[in-house]
Structure 1
Amino acid sequence: MSAADRAHVFHSWSAQDLITPLAVAGAEGSYFWDYEGNRYLDFTSGLVYTNIGYQHPKVVAAIQEQAATMTTFAPAFALEARSEAARLIAERTPGDLDKIFFTNGGAEAVENATRMARLHTGRPKVLSAYRSYHGATAAAINLTGDPRRWPSDNGSAGVVRFWAPFLYRSPFHSENEAQECERALQHLEDTIAFEGPATIAAIILETIPGTAGIMPPPPGYLAGVRELCDRYGIVLVLDEVMAGFGRTGKWFAVDHYEGVVPDLLTFAKGVNSGYVPLGGVAISGAIAETFAKRPYPGGLTYSGHPLACAAAVATINVMADEGVVEHAARMGEDVIGPGLRELAERHPSVGEVRGVGMFWALELVRDRETREPLVPYNPAGEANAPMAAFAAAAKAHGLWPFVNMNRTHVVPPCNISELDAKAGLAALDAALDAADAHVA
């Protein structure tokens, strides 16, 4: 199997001759294992999407039942699984986001959300944050702020970037969260003014940025962005592809911020734990009305695929019946958060701990005083050696870590047991010794 992979599979985000993908034999719950019997506790949830873990029997059964009834059907028709998935999602989205446009994943959700915003407003520009990731399709990769955009940065006409708040590495020299919020909002308003409010269709933000570092915005920031959008007639798009469906201890991360309702909300990943590819856009009444008599010029062959929607229905029902969202909130508050803060006290390489629910990041540094990152921004080769050593140590202790630049993210399944979570923290504790070895 590994030989066939190396001969024929072209892997994403990789130099093909420099990788040796692990051959996975199976997975269940919070664990997966290889053909040599090595078992790993998955602190990545795949790519932060197996919110209910691997192989949940109720979701597997729902996919099997749907396959026996109707494996596929074109998106122009009304189907039970599709309609029920849309209803269950709309029940949980904030405000009047009651219309659901289905896609195959998060990047396509962002593509269509920005298209809807531009058509709704008749304006060309979209503002996005530097510390962001919105997907790898044409528009989504150009909206992305992180370095994965650079090789494909040839379609950015109409994209303008700004600095979102991040107190630990504040671009505004803030001393506290209140200052960071005020200065970030002033910076965004200045950007709007200099770009021309009448040219801006949308502002897109990850409610809580994921891959870029899991940075919950300071109190008042999202409400301030909402006010700016209302003042200038700009569509607010919140990207909840990673943060949605229980990951933060709420159904959606925006639920942590009272009174904030976006005009469009993108989702994917946790909607069905990635069991079958599915994403979508939740659409406000005002934007839906734009296309009531005017055709929306967009669609996908597999939009609302029956197998994916059946998996979504089962996943949402499992999360509700088994209290997964509440469990994620409790684990974050009582186990993961306190456990990570204890690690920070023991390990000088940990510069900051931040997160909520089952969505956490450790910022690893060479020097706590200067906050010099353990590895430089967008490291490659030898420059990334300290983080590579940390990751290897984690795997040696049976933990599969999420590593990005100078951070490790702690994002296990939202229904992980307390016993397994504590075992993962113990493995993380041991692995951080490898990072400590590089502290100045």
Structure 2
Amino acid sequence: MSHSVTLPSTKDIIELERRHRLPGGQSMTDLAGIVVDRAVNAEVWDRDGKRYIDFFTGVGVSNIGHSHPAFLEQLTTQLSRCAVGTFYTDVRSRYFALLAAQLPEQLGEIHMFSTGSEAVEAAVKLARAATGKHEIVSFWGGFHGKTQGALSLHGGPRKHRSGPFPPGSHQVPYADCYHCPLQLEHPECGQRCVDLAEQSIENGSVGDLAAVIVEPVQGTNGNIIPPEGYLRRLRQLADRHGALLILDEVITGFGRTGALFAFEHDPGIAPDVVVLGKAMASGVPASAIVSRSGLVEGTSFAVPSAAASTFGGNPLASAASLATLRVLLDERLPERAHELGKSVSDRLSAWREEFPFVGNADNIGLMIGVELMDPATRLPLPKGITRRLFQELMARGVLAMAYDSRIRLYPPLSIPTHHLEEGMAAFEGAFRAMAPVISRL
């Protein structure tokens, strides 16, 4: 007698999860409405067999691509040995040594956590302990996480109705040159936004500045690339106030911008603390802060267990981080992102020429941002239009953060050239399909 098994449908799986899910999850989950079955490098297949080119990668998490064989081998081996615990492990010590070897000599002390938000909060705690001060400066459009302390650093509407927040946080303008708050042009402006930041601190601070925290390229705000020399100016600003410079490389780190870390694009930058996460462990929750040596010696941060994290640096996360970094280095993926970024840049220039609704479109490596706007008013395209574009891309087999007026693309650094071309061509097809709709706005 045979017994057939009926597998749940895509609809059944989604309905089951929604029945038990607390609201507030990622909007892309519901917009896409797919159940992922498997993924290899830059390709994803859903449960119904449809294939997609992945320009999303979990918001830039899969820099080495999905299901990399060396990554899977390292993870499987570690999982069969030991996955949890706080004791010394060979795999964590080797990861620390390899990571430290890629960083400037003064950035020698590493502590692991589980999420970017957790690492950001730890970096702020470190700065306050090291300086004995409490105020933190962050930037308009900046995003550092969704926990309460990290959200207090956000410069935008995402934190509306989420307060009250911890005191001592100040937001100042970022060098978003396409939307200059002073309506000036670069480079003639002389980076007056930094002067405005200095004035804001002078007038809004109580003179107790512990740190300046900044993304080398703003991710959540649309992959906004500041002009050359901007981070050096912020280094000088922090020094004038006796504050630390914290670089949030959660999204820019591990090759995304065409260098292993984004601050490497400017040899004059010497951060005091670097925050890492996202692509660090290719999907296994892992993050870290890397600090200038000796910063917290003898402070409250250095008290045993004061900065401990239950899952931070566990053997599985350490193995995933080590395997990821080895693949990035062995396959020279940051360099590959730099090279692929050149062809992307040419493509974006063509988009600006062909499509009147493409405003700011720029990239650094494979960190790509495209802003869509009403050609008549130069205002951002409404969500109704951008979400139709998202569906057009889905129909053409592309997954991307293209459901808002600021599109963000994060293909794997390992993406085959023909898959990158396929995804970019799908964008052009979607743009052409939407052009008549946008022209009628």
Choose the corresponding residue for 2:291, options 262, 279, 283: 283
Matches within 5 A, 1:77-96: 77-96=87-106
Q: State the identity %.
A: 31
1:57 deviates by: 1.0
Which whole-Å CA distance do the structure 2 matches of 1:226 and 1:149 have between them?
Answer: 27
Which whole-Å CA distance do the structure 2 matches of 1:6 and 1:220 have between them?
Answer: 47
1:187 — aligned with what?
196
- Indicate yes or no: 2:308 matched with 1:299: yes
CA RMSD, 1 decimal = 2.1
- Indicate yes or no: 2:60 matched with 1:25: no
Instruction: State the secondary structure of the residue aligned to 1:173.
Output: coil
Which whole-Å CA distance do the structure 2 matches of 1:249 and 1:265 have between them?
Answer: 17
TM-score, length-scaled by structure 1? 0.92
Answer whether contact 1:93 1:282 (CA < 8 A) is retained: no
1:344 deviates by: 2.2
Which segment drifts farther, 93-102 or 292-301?
A: 292-301
- Indicate yes or no: 2:342 matched with 1:330: no
- Indicate yes or no: 2:430 matched with 1:431: yes
Relative to structure 1, is the Cα distance of residues 208 and 404 closer, same or farther in structure 2, using a 3 angstrom cutoff?
A: farther
Answer whether contact 1:95 1:261 (CA < 8 A) is retained: no
Instruction: State the secondary structure of the residue aligned to 1:373.
Output: coil
1:373 — aligned with what?
380
Which whole-Å CA distance do the structure 2 matches of 1:14 and 1:212 have between them?
Answer: 16
Relative to structure 1, is the Cα distance of residues 89 and 18 closer, same or farther in structure 2, using a 3 angstrom cutoff?
A: closer
1:345 deviates by: 1.7
1:379 — aligned with what?
none
Which whole-Å CA distance do the structure 2 matches of 1:55 and 1:281 have between them?
Answer: 26
1:18 deviates by: 7.3
Answer whether contact 1:129 1:162 (CA < 8 A) is retained: yes
2:347 — aligned with what?
339
Answer whether contact 1:29 1:54 (CA < 8 A) is retained: yes
1:404 deviates by: 5.6
Which whole-Å CA distance do the structure 1 matches of 2:152 and 2:166 have between them?
Answer: 5
- Indicate yes or no: 2:395 matched with 1:385: no
1:68 — aligned with what?
80
Alignment gaps of 5+ in structure 2:
1-12
Answer whether contact 1:402 1:410 (CA < 8 A) is retained: yes
Which residue type is aligned with residue 385 of structure 1?
G
Which whole-Å CA distance do the structure 1 matches of 2:95 and 2:300 have between them?
Answer: 21
1:178 deviates by: 4.4
Matches within 5 A, 1:36-75: 36-74=48-86
Which digits, 9 at most, give the CA deviation of each residue in 1:104-144, with x for residues without a partner? 01110101000111111111211111201101112111112
1:186 deviates by: 0.3
2:170 — aligned with what?
160
Answer whether contact 1:143 1:156 (CA < 8 A) is retained: no
Answer whether contact 1:24 1:33 (CA < 8 A) is retained: yes
1:357 — aligned with what?
365
Which whole-Å CA distance do the structure 1 matches of 2:36 and 2:310 have between them?
Answer: 30
Instruction: State the secondary structure of the residue aligned to 1:201.
Output: strand
Which segment drifts farther, 187-196 or 241-250?
A: 187-196
2:122 — aligned with what?
112
Which digits, 9 at most, give the CA deviation of each residue in 1:23-42, with x for residues without a partner? 11111110111111111111
1:290 deviates by: 4.6
- Indicate yes or no: 2:143 matched with 1:136: no
Alignment gaps of 5+ in structure 1:
376-383
Instruction: State the secondary structure of the residue aligned to 1:192.
Output: helix
Which whole-Å CA distance do the structure 2 matches of 1:68 and 1:400 have between them?
Answer: 33
2:109 — aligned with what?
99
1:95 deviates by: 4.7
Relative to structure 1, is the Cα distance of residues 344 and 138 closer, same or farther in structure 2, using a 3 angstrom cutoff?
A: same
Which whole-Å CA distance do the structure 2 matches of 1:234 and 1:65 have between them?
Answer: 43
Relative to structure 1, is the Cα distance of residues 18 and 246 closer, same or farther in structure 2, using a 3 angstrom cutoff?
A: closer
Which whole-Å CA distance do the structure 2 matches of 1:427 and 1:17 have between them?
Answer: 21
Which whole-Å CA distance do the structure 1 matches of 2:371 and 2:391 have between them?
Answer: 18
Q: After TM superposition, where is structure 1 displaced by more than 6 Å over at least 4 residues in a row?
A: 15-20
2:3 — aligned with what?
none
Matches within 5 A, 1:205-354: 205-274=214-283, 276-291=284-299, 294-295=302-303, 297-333=306-342, 335-354=343-362
TM-score, length-scaled by structure 2? 0.92
Which digits, 9 at most, give the CA deviation of each residue in 1:346-378, with x for residues without a partner? 11111121121000111111127x532113xxx
Relative to structure 1, is the Cα distance of residues 138 and 9 closer, same or farther in structure 2, using a 3 angstrom cutoff?
A: same
Answer whether contact 2:139 2:174 (CA < 8 A) is retained: yes
Instruction: State the secondary structure of the residue aligned to 1:348.
Output: coil
Instruction: State the secondary structure of the residue aligned to 2:374.
Output: strand
1:83 deviates by: 1.3
Answer whether contact 1:132 1:211 (CA < 8 A) is retained: yes
1:397 — aligned with what?
396
Answer whether contact 2:92 2:318 (CA < 8 A) is retained: yes
Relative to structure 1, is the Cα distance of residues 19 and 346 closer, same or farther in structure 2, using a 3 angstrom cutoff?
A: closer
Which residue type is aligned with residue 353 of structure 2?
E
- Indicate yes or no: 2:14 matched with 1:2: yes
Which whole-Å CA distance do the structure 2 matches of 1:14 and 1:266 have between them?
Answer: 23
Answer whether contact 1:48 1:269 (CA < 8 A) is retained: yes
